[in-house]
A and B are shown apart, each in its own frame.
Chain A
């Protein structure tokens, strides 16, 4: 399955490659990703929910022909779940089998070998033979203690295990950290990363994205759809619609075979892009009424 890994020579080349795998990067996205690969530095990707932060990692992995290793962060995530753990059951077995014949020193040397190590995502990424893409998703959900633990990994690409010594990266992984900006990350972490701020795309850019995913949808409708989504994002909502939701909406319209977005269609399908009770009311009152009434064309 693994073909040879690709190393892009220019941001433009990388952008074209990402486009081939279904991700349309903005100029800065392509450039920063390119720098990350060239400089071997992790990238901290911040931005509102649903602008394609996680997608970027997936697209990079698939374009560069690398395995994607994903570490989903949550409150209380610790080393045992993210770095490594000793397989103590196996260690116990080994002791029972060997302790009769072998001397103490042998057993001790034995049971703290790599054989008894259970690698977790970060360790896997470091130890992999092939270069990988490592995605540390929603880093802002973890504690600051965990961030501190990441520092060694991010700056030197190595992990220290007290019993074993240092494990250094065999290949240079591309590391992406995403954050929804719910908590300010520490300076130390930021200092080690390149910074990429992903915002909602501009109208034309989003239109292209929608078109890429639903090529069958009529251009005029797609444009109207994106315009409405942009209008909706202007409102003060609990959760503004993401790019994924624009695409979902486009697919919905395609499935329903709608020829135009009028008031009726909008009312029926707006739950695809707006997902809060109060938001629904706001959107209906502010955006819905600006559309053509359904029976205007019929009458």
Chain B
């Protein structure tokens, strides 16, 4: 615990929420939650209350318990969990350091622990290797400080990563076996990779701590790297906004499930429930009870162009596909360039968006020779594979720019598809201004379907409204 300190709002570590004077932990936790929110984790007040309740039951001595208690109450999906870990490390490290810097606490070498000169380097090497093998996190942290005291003296190179590797090499820590060492040395058989990485993290952290002490200032808060968070990366300009809309879309589709049902005129009488209701009228079935109408979610076929002319849009499309996949039970997705390929199972298998799009680009095998979209061939292939399964309740959604590269558009085949399906929508990632210029033949197709321009997120929402509107033709 940090030493008590007179309340001073000007010294609040992060702008947002002022620290609470007496019980400072509350303020810290709140601003931690605020930090999480800023990184996109949805945290409600009830969750914060839960967190407070939870930490009352754990021991704080061990950092792990404290962290687990918080994460169990605050981070509620695998993705959130990943963000939580990163933010937790960043936040509490900075908080502790800021506190120490304000209170002018520094660790002068030799003030605690053994004097530097007394450290036997070989013993230290052995100790660290043994700790790595046995995997005690707290011991590792302490040993990391000793290692820095022993090997990392002075200003260092100024680049933390370089210093970390220098110390690691000096300690002779490697993952591969080192047969020339005596067999009782823990390093003889190589060290576990995960442990070694953890040790490096400790080293890095301690070095950073030293740096803060020397310079008496906190380095600027580093925003979480997008890569760290394993979010999909792509050429689309405003990926974050897309994800927000897609998330809303998911919710909306989920709640609008009931509106998606078709007209169900002939209901079936539920005998059991009718009899039950008749008890109220002395066994005479006056009220007929019907089988509940299941919300009928339309069967959707999505065809998505993934060729190079729509590269930036296909990321967008694929994430939309991904979102749709969660919301509809019967959704079959296809990707196409010159040929068509069903990717429904990819989405069923992969929950993570990035993994899904990688799997698609790897296995779908939709490009043939040229890599240019061939709509005519795609319609034909789609019709032959799926003809029997199209029915008037099916909805077909095409995502593509309708640029045929001079190949025959075969709108007759497309018309056949639209006739078989109940509804057909076309989403075009190009602004309406460019439609029908050059090799774009959207007008030909538009005769048979409803076309939407869809290159902004609000247009996507318009489309979703149209899709979920129950009384469409």
Contacts and interface: CB of A to CB of B under 8 A. Distances in A.
A and B interact physically: yes
Contacts of B135: 204
A182 B57 CA distance: 32
Contacts of A34: 57
Contact of A144 (B58, B78, B254): B254
Interface in B215-257: 250, 254, 257
Given A88-B272, A88-B276, A194-B50, A35 B257 contact: no
A271 B71 CA distance: 37
A181 B351 contact: yes
A31 B58 contact: yes
Consensus secondary structure, chain A interface: helix
Contacts of B77: 46, 184, 190, 195
Interface stretch (A37-45, A248-256, A258-266): A37-45
Contacts of B194: 202
Given A35-B54, A181-B78, A86 B250 contact: no
A108 B280 contact: yes
B190 interface: no
A197 interface: yes
Contacts of B47: 191
B276 A86 contact: yes
A191 B46 contact: yes
B192 A203 contact: yes
Contacts of B50: 39, 41, 194
A272 interface: no
Interface string A183-207: 1101100110111110000111000
Interface of A: 10-11, 27-28, 31-32, 34-35, 38-39, 41, 43-44, 46, 75, 86, 88, 91-92, 95-96, 99, 104, 108, 111, 144-145, 181-184, 186-187, 190-191, 193-197, 202-204, 238
29 contacts: A11-B58, A27-B64, A27-B65, A27-B68, A31-B65, A31-B69, A32-B68, A32-B72, A39-B50, A39-B57, A43-B72, A75-B329, A91-B279, A92-B275, A95-B282, A96-B283, A99-B282, A104-B282, A181-B78, A181-B351, A182-B348, A184-B77, A190-B76, A190-B77, A191-B76, A193-B76, A195-B73, A197-B81, A204-B135
Given A183-B326, A203-B192, 18 more contacts: A10-B59, A27-B64, A27-B68, A31-B65, A32-B72, A41-B50, A88-B276, A91-B279, A92-B283, A95-B279, A99-B283, A108-B280, A144-B254, A184-B326, A194-B50, A195-B72, A195-B73, A195-B76
